[in-house]
């Protein structure tokens, strides 16, 4: 069984866009990964580690902080590590 979160809005600032660009990840890729969630793990302080996949089948790990309701701030995003990718592939639905 996988966990997902409902996201109505991702909050972006110049700061977090610059930060994810250092990991060679773009805003559009983060949004795709959030739409194509594989699994989500809850962390401390209302933060979530989301494992998702872009349309180009790139696995990303996105850290989100809940702001209010279904609105989240993108803390960071990067390519999933080998271990995270293996975990995501195990959780993934067969048709994705």
Q: State the total domains in the chain.
A: 1
Tens of pLDDT along the chain (96 residues) come to: 568 999 999 999 999 999 999 999 999 999 999 999 999 999 888 899 999 999 999 999 999 999 999 999 999 999 999 999 999 999 887 654
Non-local CB neighbours of 50 within 8 Å, separated by 6+ positions: 5, 33, 34, 37, 39, 40, 61, 62, 63, 64
In a domain, residue 96? The reply is no
In a domain, residue 40? The reply is yes
In a domain, residue 13? The reply is yes
In a domain, residue 68? The reply is yes
Tokens of 2: 């996988």
- pLDDT at 85 (0 to 100): 95
We report the CATH number of the domain holding residue 67 as 3.10.450.530
In a domain, residue 79? The reply is yes
Q: Which domain holds residue 50?
A: 9-89
Record the pTM. 0.91
């Amino acid at each position: 069984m996988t966990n997902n979160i409902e996201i109505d809005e991702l909050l972006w600032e110049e700061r977090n866009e610059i930060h994810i660009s250092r990991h060679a990840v773009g805003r559009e890729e983060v949004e795709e990964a959030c739409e194509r969630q594989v699994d989500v793990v809850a962390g401390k302080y209302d933060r979530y580690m989301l494992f998702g996949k872009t349309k180009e089948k790139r696995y990303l790990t996105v850290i989100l902080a809940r702001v209010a309701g279904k609105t989240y701030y993108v803390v960071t995003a990067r390519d999933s590590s080998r271990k995270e990718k293996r975990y995501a592939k195990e959780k993934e639905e067969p048709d994705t």
